[in-house]
Structure formats: structure tokens, C-alpha cells
Structure 1
Amino acid sequence: MKVSIIGLGWIGLPLARLLQEDGYKVVGSTTSSNKVAKLKEEGINALHFSLMPFPQGKGFQELFSSEVLVVNIPPRSKSTDGRFYLEQLKFLQSMVEQSGIQKVIFVSSTGVYPEVAHDEAYREDDVVTEENTGNIIQFKGEGTFRGLKDLTIVRFGGLLGDNRIPGKYVAGKEGVAGHTRVNFIYRNDAARLLHWIIKKELWNETFNGIAPIHTLRKDIYEKNAVDLGLQPPASYAPVKEEVNRLISGDKICQTGFRFDFPDPLDFPYSLAESV
């Protein structure tokens, strides 16, 4: 089977490596023409492909000759109003419809769930609408591909591990929120989860990608400080009597998937830059 990956980035690249090790034929894209040569040296069939929002690049038609397509494009809605992202997806959806692609994995975010705290953990069958979603752009992005026959949506929580270190972002800061519990997933577990869906042919589903243990933020920050020599937060915000906004990752585990790192306290970290 041939798999195309739109976005050979922080998750897409380890996914490509896992698939190739398992005997899949893989082709992927990067928006950096300089990165193409480096990836090819590593044995990854990489193509230059950008959505501006119309498609640009060289030889990118090969991306649409696979059985499976993984759409892994970040919305960057924090720095834009999201309209450009939705236009990108419209062009991509049109290309998919005109191609021989049979199955699509759309990488989304647990940000689509309401931002309000909840007595129970949010699950995939909870109703999310434009009125209650916590991220309207991401929610509309999911809807772009909903007309396809075989579509699986994966909503990842906080993608961390390796050089993405939670404690680094709060080192020395005042008033850090440390009393709530996290919805994190380790980088390679995220790639393994996508690989699992393709291998087990888990289509027409929605899965949350969340490590099963929801550790306290404070514990993670302080362990990062000890393990990596980082400065801990200078102070923490007062503890509030609020319910945690938790996301359940149980559904994917019910298919037989097992996390290598179920507890965010155990995620591997390194201060060295990684690809």
C-alpha cells in the first residue's frame, strides 16, 4: 500500500519512518525546498508542495496517486484569522476528489471540544457544534473532508516530547497555572497511533490522541526542571476550585493500541534541537 503524507513535519516525519519500516511505500510533502534534499538523503521520498492557498511545487501530483492520504496541516489560527487555512483545505479537498485516493486521515486537535470544564472527560461521541466548539477554525477544517467515503479524524492533545518541553515554556515565570491536569501525548506515540489506524484499517471513525494518565502540570514542570537543569516557575497561580477539562483517549486503546509513554511524567525530553 502507498501512503501520502501532507506535512513531513514534527509528526509527519516519524510517521513516514514507521510506515517505511513496516513495508509501506511512502511519499510526503514539505513546504521547504531546502528540506526536500535532506529528506531524500535519509531515504524519504519528499516533494515540495505548498498551498498558497492554491497548490504550488514540483511533481506534487504524485501525492495524489496513493490509496491513503494523511492530512497534517496546522491551522496557525493563533497568528491568523483561520480563513487562509480553510481555503487551503478547500483546494486540497478538491484535489483529493479528483484523485484515486480512497482513504483519508485528517489530523485535528482536541481544541475542538468546548473550553468549559466538564464533570466527565470529553469523548469522541460528545456533540460538538459551531456554537460550543473551542476552536471554530479547526472544527470547520474537520468538516471539509466529511463527505469522503472513508475518513478518520484524529484529535491530538498537546504534542510534546523530545525538544518540545513544557517546563521550558514556563521557566522562571510568575503566576503559572500548575493545579490542572494535562491532556498530552508523546510525539512518537502520536505517529504510532496514525500508523496503527492505517495498519488496522480503522476508517470512518474519530479518535482522540491523548495519553491515558492526566498528570498535574506542576509535577511535569518541576520534573523537567530537575531532569534538564531548567529554572522552575518562579511562582504558581492560586489553586482554583474548578473541574479539570479532561479529554479521554480510551477509544483508541479499545482497538488494542498501547501507548509507549502513558504518563507525561515519563516523556523523553532533550534540550538538543530535533527534526
Structure 2
Amino acid sequence: MTSVSIIGLGWLGLPLANYLKENNFEVKGSTTSPEKMEKLNAKGISTFLLKLLPHPEGKGFMKLFESDILFMNVPPRSRTMPETFHPEQIKFLKSMALQTGVKKIIYISSTSIYPDQNRELDETFTLTKENTGNTALYQAENILLQDQDYDLSIIRFGGLLGVDRVPGKYFSGKINVIGDSPVNYIHRDDAVGISSWVIEKNLWNQVFNGVAPFHPKRKLVYEKNALDLGFPPPSSYAPEGDSTWKQLSSQKIQSSGYEFKIPDPLDFWYS
């Protein structure tokens, strides 16, 4: 039985753990909360306490690194922490993985790593320290790519939405909202779907964009959310053409045979 350790049993990690468990994988994971650890252990998911501050703190967490596959799902917290914080977290995870001889790693990155260039971009785009849209993620990816003693795949997810994350809610009643650029969103169902697909199909040593194939304009999404869920849309929008943007292609993951469950962000379901 293949074992998978998920660093971060949160909004994405927990549904992925449940899916893998149902499909005969041995699953372990980490959480930063003792209460959550007890609940998850009671549900049959071996859970360990691990905080990356950025150095690791917790209890018994080295057992997480005794796994065939390590799934690194650590949000970079770039708004509240210096940009060196997330790369340091990844450096510690990598050294523990090397110490225990982990053979396969999936790192969850984000499409914010790409610069805004007012065009479509795909995984062949050459990122540099100078052009990246997210320095912390760029450094973290490179830490994992250097001196590799394991297979590594990187999934760069777009805006992770659906369920209780409603894009229009964040802009409800706001003024001067950018409405004319295309969205790069993915529903949680597909984020779980792509993550498990990479594991099940052994798609190693590759980079994938995890983004829904349709890219409606932001305004359409916000207005539809407001209408469907009964809250006010944005009060006003910024003049068209004011903002820079990017549109990310998901052609590569689709070419591997993955079929999106919800390809259009206008069809996302919310709880």
C-alpha cells in the first residue's frame, strides 16, 4: 500500500486525505492544532502536530517523513510574514525529507508565481528572480529543485475557491473593483482531483498549472455570486484597461488525461 503524508490537513489537505484513504492509500498528515489532531486521529487519519515557525515544532512529526510520498501543502502567508519565511519552512521540510529518504514530493505552489504580462502563459514560461510575481514561492520551488534526491512535481494552483470560499463575497459592496481581467480560479473538487491524479498516474518531475480551463471576466463571476447567493455586488468597478493581468493555461494537465469536474468558474458550487 502506497503511503502519503500530507503536510497541512486543512481546506485542501483534508478532503484529499479522505479521497486517498477511500482509494486504498495509507494516509498520514499534520495539523497545527491539538484539538484538530484529536478529531482527525479519531476519524482514522494518523495526525501529528507540526508547526513551521519556520523551524519545525510539534510532537512525533518525524513519522510523517516515513512515507512514500510527501505532499507539501503549506500556505506561504506572504501578507503577514517576510518573504524569507516560506522558503525557510520549505528548507526545513526538505532537510527532514532527505534525512529520512523520502522518494517522492509534491509541492503546492500558486499561479501568483507568474508575472502579469497581459497574455496567456503556460508551464514553459521561464521564471527568474527578476520577473516572478511571488518571490517567496519562486525561492521555495528552487530550494526543492536544487540537489534533488527525490522525484518532485509542482502544482501551481489558481485561486482556490468553491465550497465556503466565494470570490464575489470578498468584493461585495467595494468600490473601484477590477472587473475586466480574466480569472484563474480552480474549484476545490478539481484541486483534490488534480492532486490525486498526479499521485495515481505517477506524473513525476513535472510542473502543472491547476487552473479551470475557462477564464470569465472577474465582473461576471462577482455579479453571478451576488445574484446566486443574495449579497450586494461591488458598488463600482475600475475603468477598463487599468489593470495588468495574466491568463494561465491548463492544457498540460488536460493532455495527461485529466478531465475537469467544474471547468467554468461561473458554475462553481458553494455551500
The bucket for the TM-score relative to the shorter chain is over 0.9
Query: Which residues of 2 match residues 1-275 of structure 1 at below 5 A?
Result: 1-118=2-119, 121-146=120-145, 147-148=147-148, 149-240=150-241, 244-270=245-271
Letter of the structure 1 residue corresponding to residue 130 of structure 2: E
Query: Secondary structure at 1:98's aligned position in 2?
Result: helix
Letter of the structure 2 residue corresponding to residue 85 of structure 1: H
Instruction: Give 4+ residue runs of structure 1 displaced > 6 Å after superposition.
Output: none
Query: Secondary structure at 2:121's aligned position in 1?
Result: coil
CA contact (8 A) 1:109 1:156 kept: yes
Letter of the structure 1 residue corresponding to residue 195 of structure 2: L
Matching residue of 1:273 = none
Partners in 2 of 1:80 and 1:59 — Cα distance?
26
Pairwise CA RMSD of aligned residues? 1.3
Please give the TM-score of this superposition, normalised by the length of structure 1: 0.94
Which stretches in structure 2 are left out of the alignment for 5+ residues?
Answer: none
Deviations 1:170-219 (A, max 9, x none): 11111111111100000121011010000000000000000000011111
The structural deviation recorded for 1:25 is 0.3
Partners in 1 of 2:41 and 2:96 — Cα distance?
25
Query: Secondary structure at 2:100's aligned position in 1?
Result: coil
Letter of the structure 1 residue corresponding to residue 75 of structure 2: P
Partners in 2 of 1:226 and 1:51 — Cα distance?
40
Partners in 1 of 2:160 and 2:151 — Cα distance?
25
Letter of the structure 2 residue corresponding to residue 186 of structure 1: H
The structural deviation recorded for 1:242 is 6.8
Which stretches in structure 1 are left out of the alignment for 5+ residues?
Answer: 271-275
Partners in 1 of 2:269 and 2:41 — Cα distance?
27
Partners in 1 of 2:151 and 2:39 — Cα distance?
33
Please give the TM-score of this superposition, normalised by the length of structure 2: 0.95
Q: Are the structure 2 counterparts of residues 241 and 77 from structure 1 closer, same or farther at C-alpha, using a change threshold of 3 Å?
A: closer
Letter of the structure 1 residue corresponding to residue 127 of structure 2: V
Partners in 1 of 2:10 and 2:35 — Cα distance?
14
Provide the identity percentage: 50
CA contact (8 A) 1:112 1:134 kept: yes
Letter of the structure 2 residue corresponding to residue 257 of structure 1: Y
Deviations 1:114-160 (A, max 9, x none): 12322xx1110110000111111110010111132310011011000
CA contact (8 A) 2:154 2:208 kept: yes
Deviations 1:41-97 (A, max 9, x none): 332221111122222211112101101000111111122212222222111111111
Count of matched residue pairs: 268
